Amino acid sequence: MKKTIKFIFVMLAFVIVGFNGYIMATGQWVVYRIFYYNLANLDDYKIFANRTLAASSKPFQWHTTSLQIHHLPDSLAQELQAIETTALIAIRNDTVLLEQYWEGYNANTISNSFSMAKSYVSTLIGIAIKERMISSLDQPISVFLPEFKEGEKSKITLRHCLMMSSGLDWKEEYLNPLSSVTQAYYGNDIRQLMSKLKSIKKPGQAFEYKGGDTQLLAFVLEKIYQKNLSEIAAQKLWQPMGASNNALWSLDREGGDEKASCCLFATARDFALLGRLFLKQGNWEENQLLDSSFVNLATSPNLLPDKDGKSTNYYGYQWWLLPEYLDTKIYYARGVAGQYIIVLPEKNIVIVRLGKQRGSKQGNSFKEVFDLVNMAKSW
């Protein structure tokens, strides 16, 4: 028995030494950070460096009433609580129809956007086009990023990145500590991470969801505006839309780069502003922030073949779609833990749901998305 225990301890020591040797040899120090913090959380701004997007000096005022116009059906309330929903707000014609918070959250609590941030970066590209800072979506990104001038990388365009079809070897594997997306989230040099990516597929040929494509778009925006992503987002979106609260965008290190494909921290009410902008076809109080043509393009299916060889009718230009509703167009921004900005143009409704989990997957979406949409369609 003693020999067995001794053998186990010796083998464990070999594993630990070997693991640490691998870390030192490869420089993957980020793995220690991953194991320490475990999985990503809604309040991870506390563990990262951040930049602030200052609130507007003229906050937009949603209309409210003393009584909620609608209430959650009991079955949906139970479903949302079971998946640890923290915030839910539904707005029609600028009037709050329903607003509820759980888990200690309130109207002023900021929460991680996760991949909803991708829809903000896409929108900023649309604004840059309207401002003629970008001449065409078919411009190669190498025009702005010289490090992409060699080989197949030189063929990657802005449109390819918007459609998630760059063909780069970015690995979107959330539970793999050595994957690209995990390295981007917990690492301290996202620019170096991007520079090491290789082309493994011809760009523009297939849809493959990759946060790295969004990061490239952010680098392009920074190049053309000569400002960091937080400054651009604050000046072009956050303040013009009348955000009521400061937001935070997490960085890879102090003074470093924004993690563009995730990590914009804001309140549910301020997240709803982007939905309203798209409902209004890019117009904000008589100020056309981006062309309606880009709004329509971003929220239409990109139709590239997906990993199963099927036409991608559920994703546009960094916005998700619900093709199951054949009678109407519905689109939404989406984060990995069930963060949603859902837009129902036919009903003029925006729904924001924030939380810690998603429900069961249904097709290319999730049960709670369909349930929230069905609720709103009944109003």
Tens of pLDDT along 134-162?
999 999 999 999 999 988 999 999 999 99
Cβ contacts of 158 within 8 Å, gap of 6 or more? 125, 134, 136, 137, 138, 139, 141, 217, 220
Q: pLDDT tier at 21 (50, 70, 90 boundaries)?
A: very low
**pLDDT (0 to 100) of residue 33:** 54
Residue 17: is its pLDDT beyond 50? no
- Give CA separation, 205 vs 156, 302, 304, in Å: 11, 11, 7
**pLDDT (0 to 100) of residue 34:** 56
Percent of the chain exceeding pLDDT 70 equals 89
Strands (E), 214-348: 247-250, 264-266, 283-284, 287-288, 320-321, 331-335, 339-344
How far apart (Å, rounded) are the C-alpha atoms in residues 70 and 208?
Answer: 39
Identify which of 65, 30, 66 has the alpha carbon closest to the alpha carbon of residue 48: 30
pLDDT, tens only, 236-276: 999 999 999 999 999 999 999 999 999 999 999 999 999 99
Q: pLDDT tier at 13 (50, 70, 90 boundaries)?
A: very low
**What distance lies between CA 258 and its chain's CA centroid?**
12
Q: pLDDT tier at 221 (50, 70, 90 boundaries)?
A: very high
Residue 46: is its pLDDT beyond 60? yes
**pLDDT (0 to 100) of residue 39:** 72
Residue 206: is its pLDDT beyond 90? yes
How far apart (Å, rounded) are the C-alpha atoms in residues 111 and 120?
Answer: 15
Q: pLDDT tier at 174 (50, 70, 90 boundaries)?
A: confident
Residue 335: is its pLDDT beyond 60? yes
Residue 47: is its pLDDT beyond 70? yes
The phi-psi region of residue 177 (left if phi > 0; otherwise alpha if psi is between -120 and 50; otherwise beta) is alpha
How many Cβ atoms sit within 10 Å of the Cβ of residue 327? 7
Strands (E), 286-330: 287-288, 320-321
**pLDDT (0 to 100) of residue 74:** 94
Is-contact 148 141, C-beta < 8 A? yes
Q: What is the pTM of this model?
A: 0.91
**pLDDT (0 to 100) of residue 67:** 66
Q: pLDDT tier at 36 (50, 70, 90 boundaries)?
A: very low
How far apart (Å, rounded) are the C-alpha atoms in residues 307 and 340?
Answer: 24
Cβ contacts of 61 within 8 Å, gap of 6 or more? 242
Q: What is the mean pLDDT of the chain?
A: 91
Residue 30: is its pLDDT beyond 90? no
Query: What's the 3-state SS for 188-217?
Result: CCHHHHHHCCCECCCCCCCCCCCHHHHHHH
pLDDT, tens only, 55-82: 999 999 999 976 667 889 999 999 999 9
Q: pLDDT tier at 200 (50, 70, 90 boundaries)?
A: very high
**pLDDT (0 to 100) of residue 177:** 84
Q: pLDDT tier at 324 (50, 70, 90 boundaries)?
A: very high
pLDDT, tens only, 93-107: 999 999 999 999 999
What number is the average pLDDT over the span 355-360? 97
Residue 193: is its pLDDT beyond 90? yes
Q: pLDDT tier at 38 (50, 70, 90 boundaries)?
A: low
Cβ contacts of 176 within 8 Å, gap of 6 or more? 182
